[in-house]
């Protein structure tokens, strides 16, 4: 399936200082997630992508949800911002050059954006596990992309 969710026109703004803070926070939390597979109340992973413009490796800590039939579900929420997070565009450019780290292990994965009834079922599972993602959806007019990662 294609990665084709456009940015919205309404959503939480992400000021420059927030982006700088997030980069520092990501470095801190990534080490813990690699060891334990958790950060806060949700299971978490470190997503490694290849930059869509730079071609450089990019690492992003994210919450995940077990996918029915195996794999992992992640949400390109960007906390309800009007635009998609940068890692979403990295996945779109290189869906087969992705890996995840959690709980002391690393897996090569393939990324696929879910659409239609498959996305709807995954979305119900996600918001049943964490109301936070429903709150993010309420803040923006874009449909939050749901991505399934499966082992290669």
Contact in structure between 125 and 68 (CB atoms under 8 Å): yes
pLDDT in tens, 100-138: 999 889 999 999 999 999 999 999 999 999 999 999 999
Residues forming a β-bridge with 45: 62
Q: Is the pLDDT of residue 142 over 80?
A: yes
Q: What are the pLDDT digits (tens) for 39-68?
A: 677 899 999 999 999 999 999 999 999 999
pLDDT of 24 strictly over 90: no
User: ∠ at Cα 144 (26, 105), nearest 5°?
Assistant: 40
| 65-101 pLDDT per residue, tens | 999 999 999 999 999 999 999 999 999 999 999 999 9
Rounded distance between C-alpha atoms, residue 106 and residue 99, angstroms: 7
Q: Which residue has the higher pLDDT, 86 or 21?
A: 86
Euclidean distance between the first and the last CA atom of the chain, given in angstroms as a whole number: 16
Please answer whether residues 34 and 25 qualify as being in contact, where contact means their C-beta atoms are separated by less than 8 angstroms: no
| Domain spans in the chain, listed from the N-terminal domain onward | 16-151
Rounded CA-CA distance 45/65 in Å is: 10
Residues 13, 18, 19: CA angle, nearest 5 degrees: 95
pTM: 0.86
Pairwise pLDDT comparison (26 vs 61), residue with the higher score: 61
DSSP letter, residue 79: G
Q: Which fold has domain 16-151?
A: Pnp Oxidase; Chain A (2.30.110)
């Amino acid at each position: 399936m294609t990665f084709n969710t456009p940015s919205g026109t309404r959503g939480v703004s992400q000021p420059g200082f927030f982006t700088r803070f997030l980069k520092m926070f990501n470095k801190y939390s990534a080490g813990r997630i690699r060891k334990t597979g958790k950060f806060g109340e949700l299971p978490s992973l470190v997503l490694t992508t290849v930059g869509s413009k730079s071609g450089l490796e990019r690492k992003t800590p994210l919450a995940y949800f077990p996918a029915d039939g195996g794999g992992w579900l992640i949400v390109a929420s960007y906390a309800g911002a009007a635009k998609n997070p940068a890692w979403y565009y990295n996945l779109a450019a290189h869906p087969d050059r992705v890996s995840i780290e959690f709980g002391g292990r690393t897996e090569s994965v393939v990324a696929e954006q879910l659409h239609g009834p498959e996305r709807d079922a995954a979305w119900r599972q996600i918001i049943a596990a964490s109301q936070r993602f429903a709150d993010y959806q309420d803040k923006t007019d874009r449909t939050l992309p749901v991505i399934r990662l499966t082992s290669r």
